[in-house]
Structure 1
Amino acid sequence: MRDPRARSGRPGLPGRRRLVVAAATLLLALTACGGEADVPFSGRPLDSPYTVPDVDLVDTDGDAFSLAADTDKRLTMVFFGYTRCEDVCPAVLSHLASALTRLDDDDRSQVDVVMVTSDPDHDTPQVIRDYLDTFDRSFIGATSDFDTIVEVGRSLAVGIDRDDPGGHTTQVLGVDTADEAPIYWSQDTTPAQFASDIHTLLEDS
């Protein structure tokens, strides 16, 4: 894991340290009361956040898109997947889409979801757009050449196999306005858990 990288120019927006503190505080509270809660906190804070690389990908409009420079919401949920995936990818995207419907308007306006394809040979910008629209039209899709996607994924501890697009790591990463990923969720996180965690992080950060 890399050392955290500080970025300036975004006054008034929370950095990763405040998101981590929010998550850690909730986890301590749950532990103190025996771990019982209607919706347990499911995100896993990282002691050493991943630094999001400022590398140009391509969005579904064909424009340059960077997970660092172009993710300015307070929280951006990033998932690496591919459109021909039959199980994990649609399940994760469906859960994220459902989670967003559970947020109030204020929380919803502060969150983006981005899918980076792990199968760029097949997933053109239009293919990705058509696919994501079946879940939520606000979802952002990104692609590039395979080596660039591998580079970006490696920085976020996401492994991608050229011969097996389905062999990618399946966590959802939370990216903050400091261009760091201080927290992640497993593929088994439910819509209710995503929604609860997002609200908690935005409320306490």
Structure 2
Amino acid sequence: MEGRLLRDAARPQVRAKAALLVLVLVLGTALSACSKSSADTFSGAVLHQPYHVPATELTDTDGSPYSLANSTDKRLTLVFFGYTHCPDECPTTMATLASAMLQLDDADRSNVQVVFVTTDPARDTGPVIRHWLDHFSSSFVGVTGSLDTIKKVATDVGVPIAKGRRLPSGGYDVSHGTQVLGVDGKDTVPVVWTLGTTAPEFAHDIHQLLN
């Protein structure tokens, strides 16, 4: 799927919209729990040949070196490649992950980290990413770097990235894979979740993986 440019003039209420999206997801979870247990099956796709996460150095939003292999010290790290100007898949995915984290108990939550890697470093500076992520959760880690380096890391873990078409507004969209990667303590990706996975499904799968 392709992300599309969210025009700057249409973003004055991003924080409120992001908070509302998380609230809607949480409420939807409560309603679905009344009708059925969504914790019956594993929703992620288990890979027969897990990807190996490279130790390639990127940069976090504080400007410090960050590696998906060496800087992830949790038992499970959820990684998503996207960009802050994306109007649909990216904020939806981050809101879903934020809702899923709220559904975990303290023990599980302490063993999980969510990492967002920008696919649009030209516009997504460290402060821009941090401000955007804080709409969803201040615990989420943001990562940037040169586009070539990000593409290399993404390719190594099976995520395609390409700049899309130029838009009439003067901006551009960015094509990127929309899967969420599950990185384990061995720096491999044994499971991925596709777009459309719900917060209860993420929470269930996370619990299963940790236990």
Q: Please, what TM-score do these two structures have when normalized by structure 2? A: 0.77
2:112 and 2:66 map into 1 onto residues whose CA distance is 17
**Alpha-carbon displacement from aligned partner over 1:126-145 (angstroms, at most 9, x marks no partner):** 00000000000000000000
Structure 2 residue 110 is matched with structure 1 residue 102? no
**8 A contact 1:174–1:184 mirrored in 2:** yes
Q: Counterpart amino acid of 2:178?
A: T
**8 A contact 1:74–1:177 mirrored in 2:** yes
Larger proportion of strand: 2
Aligned counterpart, 1:77: 78
Structure 2 residue 189 is matched with structure 1 residue 181? yes
Structure 2 residue 146 is matched with structure 1 residue 138? no
- Unaligned residue ranges in structure 1 (runs of 5+): 1-35
Secondary structure (helix, strand or coil) at the match of 1:84 reads coil
Shift of 1:44: 0.6
Residues 1-205 of structure 1 aligned to structure 2 (within 5 Å): 38-39=38-39, 40-163=41-164, 165-203=173-211
2:149 and 2:83 map into 1 onto residues whose CA distance is 16
Q: Counterpart amino acid of 2:113?
A: D
Secondary structure (helix, strand or coil) at the match of 2:138 reads coil
Q: How many residues get paired?
A: 168
1:143 and 1:161 map into 2 onto residues whose CA distance is 16
Shift of 1:49: 0.4
Q: Counterpart amino acid of 1:62?
A: G
**Alpha-carbon displacement from aligned partner over 1:48-99 (angstroms, at most 9, x marks no partner):** 0000000110000000000000011000000000000000000000000000
2:95 and 2:37 map into 1 onto residues whose CA distance is 24
Aligned counterpart, 1:8: none
Which range moved further: 164-173 or 45-54? 164-173
1:176 and 1:148 map into 2 onto residues whose CA distance is 22
**8 A contact 1:107–1:202 mirrored in 2:** yes
- Unaligned residue ranges in structure 2 (runs of 5+): 1-35, 166-172
Q: Counterpart amino acid of 2:144?
A: T
Aligned counterpart, 2:4: none
Shift of 1:38: 3.5
**Alpha-carbon displacement from aligned partner over 1:121-167 (angstroms, at most 9, x marks no partner):** 00000000000000000000000000000000000110100346531
Shift of 1:37: 6.0
**8 A contact 1:146–1:162 mirrored in 2:** no
2:209 and 2:82 map into 1 onto residues whose CA distance is 24
**8 A contact 2:178–2:194 mirrored in 1:** yes
Q: State the superposition RMSD in angstroms.
A: 1.3
Q: Counterpart amino acid of 2:206?
A: I
| Percent of aligned pairs with the same amino acid | 52
**8 A contact 2:38–2:201 mirrored in 1:** no
